[in-house]
């Protein structure tokens, strides 16, 4: 554990809630956030799988440029916590979800789709599996000069019973393409479809 005393989590630290955990700003480090899993067994099992996949990425030396990286565990006033990179915009605010920008009337969709294409290419070239590609699990980081960068904050890994085929690069690539294209058709209006050799 990184902290010797429990970190006090207040209501104003709350960022968002998912199906299996709630996310809070780290009270001491603005560059980090803390995920607190639900108490049920399914949430704990999912978390263990996620952390195992992060360890695998780290051992492979994969760049975490487009993924909010895992930093370690901590103890909080709400129970065991798990510390991740907190994705913030140039002005210090927590970045908003891809869903927000897809629904906003002033979004430059061409620029956004270009950035998502870079994310898709990154996943394929680094053989990174995402079990749950969803527009709520991708934050869009603004750089202050009009640039946008998508960052995956949840759902990494492969939550299937049989993973033996993941030792084969071609099998992993096929999963990445299939899952990304399902996401693109459902939530990106068929934009940014991914092929075996890239976008």
Percent of the chain that is helix, strand, coil (3-state, to 5): 35, 25, 40
pLDDT value of position 59:
95
Write out the DSSP string of 177-192.
HHHHHHHHHHHSTT-S
The reported pLDDT for the residue numbered 3 is 47
pLDDT at 162: 41
Measure the CA–CA gap between 116 and 132, rounded to whole angstroms.
Answer: 16
Q: Give me the phi and psi of 4, to 5 degrees please.
A: -85, -30
C-alpha–C-alpha distance, residues 24 and 20, integer Å: 14
- Answer whether 146's CB lies under 8 Å from 110's CB: no
Can you give the pLDDT of all 199 residues of the chain as single tens digits? 444 679 999 999 999 998 788 999 999 999 999 999 887 777 778 888 889 999 999 999 999 999 999 999 999 999 999 999 999 999 999 999 999 999 999 999 999 999 999 999 999 999 999 988 999 999 999 998 889 999 999 989 886 544 534 544 678 899 999 999 999 999 999 999 987 555 5
Please report where in the chains the tokens 């990154």 appear, as a residue.
Answer: 122
Cross-strand bridge partners of residue 148? 142
What pLDDT shows up at residue 88?
98
pLDDT for the residue numbered 168: 47
Q: What is the DSSP letter of 6?
A: -
Q: Give the integer Cα–Cα distance in Å for 72 and 70.
A: 6
pLDDT at 48: 82
d(CA 45, CA 31): 27
């Amino acid at each position: 554990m990184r902290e010797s005393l429990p970190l006090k989590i207040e209501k104003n630290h709350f960022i968002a809630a998912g199906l299996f955990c709630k996310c809070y700003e780290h009270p001491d480090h603005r560059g980090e956030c803390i995920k607190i899993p639900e108490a049920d067994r399914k949430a704990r099992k999912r978390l263990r799988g996620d952390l195992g996949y992060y360890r695998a990425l780290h051992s492979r030396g994969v760049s975490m440029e487009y993924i909010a990286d895992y930093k370690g565990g901590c103890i909080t006033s709400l129970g065991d916590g798990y510390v991740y990179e907190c994705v913030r915009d140039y002005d210090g605010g927590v970045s908003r979800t891809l869903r927000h920008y897809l629904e906003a009337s002033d979004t430059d969709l061409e620029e956004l789709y270009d950035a998502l294409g870079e994310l898709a290419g990154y996943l394929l070239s680094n053989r990174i599996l995402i079990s749950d590609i969803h527009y709520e699990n991708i934050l869009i980081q603004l750089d202050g000069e009009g640039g946008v960068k998508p960052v995956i904050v949840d759902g990494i890994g492969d939550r299937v019973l049989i993973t033996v085929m993941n030792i084969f690069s071609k099998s992993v690539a096929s999963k990445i393409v299939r899952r990304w294209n399902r996401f693109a058709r459902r939530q990106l209006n068929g934009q940014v479809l991914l092929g075996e050799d890239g976008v």
